[in-house]
Structure 1
Amino acid sequence: MLDVLRRFITDLSGAPDEHGFAVDDHRVAAAALLIHLIGVDGAVDDPERVVLHDVLKARFDLDESATAELIAVAQSREADAIDLYGFTSVLKRSLDAEGRAGVIEMMWEIVFADGAADELEDNVVWRAAELLGVPARERVELKRRIAARTQSVGAATR
């Protein structure tokens, strides 16, 4: 009970938690969205975990330790979340249009980590894009680009 109260007060203050990531850190919000997306189809595969790690590390220019910490914090925040709005509102306040489109691009990279887009995953990306103000045309173009890149990488490794 005391831990819950401490976390609530920390969340209100916006101060960094024990990992050094503030409640309103856009990196945590983005990572939490990606973690939600990974679990939405009911199956979390190793390729999805690897892509999650690699995407976060590259996009936010983190080292191994910081990437692991970000994922841990985001998993905790995602577990406590009741909807996507808590994360998308942070991203919308913190990022410009290009940055918000970059979040949708990361989401598509997660979706295609296992080779195909599931209907539930597609729906989550659509809802997040709407909340982030990313136009449908741009969302669809990002999907096509990531799908084509994923298919060409998959063909090259066969």
Structure 2
Amino acid sequence: MLDQIRSFLRELKSETPQASGVNDTDVAAVALFFHVIGADGVIDEEESEKLRVLIAEEYNVDGTEMQELIEAGKKADREAVDLYQFTSVLNRALEPDAKVHFIELLWNLAYADGHRHELEDHVVWRIADLMGVSSRDRVLARQRALASAGIEDEADADNGN
């Protein structure tokens, strides 16, 4: 019984925003951002810059607050044993349309360096699946990200052209 109470209190605490203004939902999202851009084993300058711009635009943060969020997300990704711990947080926090938007953000990060690596593709697919985003919505989000990146043909994206 005591273990159940402790577990319940830990869950409440994990859903409460932290004093610094960084909350678990934001950390979960940024951890998944890092997971996608790091899937191919290389985080290059274009991906890092796209990540910072995306965080600034989507979470309306800058300066110290942005750095805290980036560090918390990076640490959470490094310590993660699976994607579920992040997607479950986002599933509780996001409406269906927001989930599709989040998948589109992941595609934007995957295409930040001008091409999509098959490991990045797999990670985005897996996250979309865990978040209950349909295959159709995932593909449409990918197509919008391709257009946004100025990549006309997906084959070009795969070849880095």
Q: Do both proteins adopt the same fold according to a TM-score greater than 0.5, normalized to the shorter chain?
A: yes
| Equivalent residue, structure 2, for 1:96 | 95
Amino acid at match of 2:91: K
Tell me how far 1:17 sits from its aligned partner.
Answer: 4.9
| Equivalent residue, structure 2, for 1:105 | 104
Q: Is the 8 A contact 1:129 1:139 kept in 2?
A: yes
Q: Is the 8 A contact 1:57 1:64 kept in 2?
A: no
The structure-2 alpha-carbon separation of the partners of 1:11 and 1:85, relative to structure 1 and needing over 3 Å to count, comes to: same
CA–CA separation in structure 2 for the residues paired with 1:89 and 1:140: 22
1:36 aligns with 2:35: yes
Pairs aligned (count): 142
CA–CA separation in structure 1 for the residues paired with 2:109 and 2:139: 15
CA–CA separation in structure 1 for the residues paired with 2:60 and 2:66: 9
CA–CA separation in structure 2 for the residues paired with 1:93 and 1:17: 18
| Equivalent residue, structure 1, for 2:149 | 150
Amino acid at match of 1:32: A
Tell me how far 1:18 sits from its aligned partner.
Answer: 6.4
Backbone CA RMSD of aligned residues: 1.9
Q: Is the 8 A contact 2:107 2:142 kept in 1?
A: yes
1:83 aligns with 2:77: no
Give the gaps of 5 or more residues in structure 1. Answer: 1-9, 154-158
Tell me how far 1:61 sits from its aligned partner.
Answer: 1.3
The structure-2 alpha-carbon separation of the partners of 1:57 and 1:31, relative to structure 1 and needing over 3 Å to count, comes to: same
Tell me how far 1:89 sits from its aligned partner.
Answer: 0.2
1:21 aligns with 2:22: yes
Amino-acid identity (%) = 38
Deviations 1:117-141 (CA, angstroms, capped at 9, x unpaired): 1100000000000000111101101
Deviations 1:8-29 (CA, angstroms, capped at 9, x unpaired): xx9663255564424xx21111
Query: SS of the counterpart of 1:109?
Result: helix
CA–CA separation in structure 2 for the residues paired with 1:61 and 1:20: 12
CA–CA separation in structure 2 for the residues paired with 1:64 and 1:100: 27
Tell me how far 1:39 sits from its aligned partner.
Answer: 0.9
The structure-2 alpha-carbon separation of the partners of 1:50 and 1:137, relative to structure 1 and needing over 3 Å to count, comes to: same
Tell me how far 1:69 sits from its aligned partner.
Answer: 1.2
1:117 aligns with 2:116: yes
Amino acid at match of 1:38: I
Tell me how far 1:63 sits from its aligned partner.
Answer: 2.2
CA–CA separation in structure 2 for the residues paired with 1:17 and 1:11: 13
Tell me how far 1:62 sits from its aligned partner.
Answer: 1.3
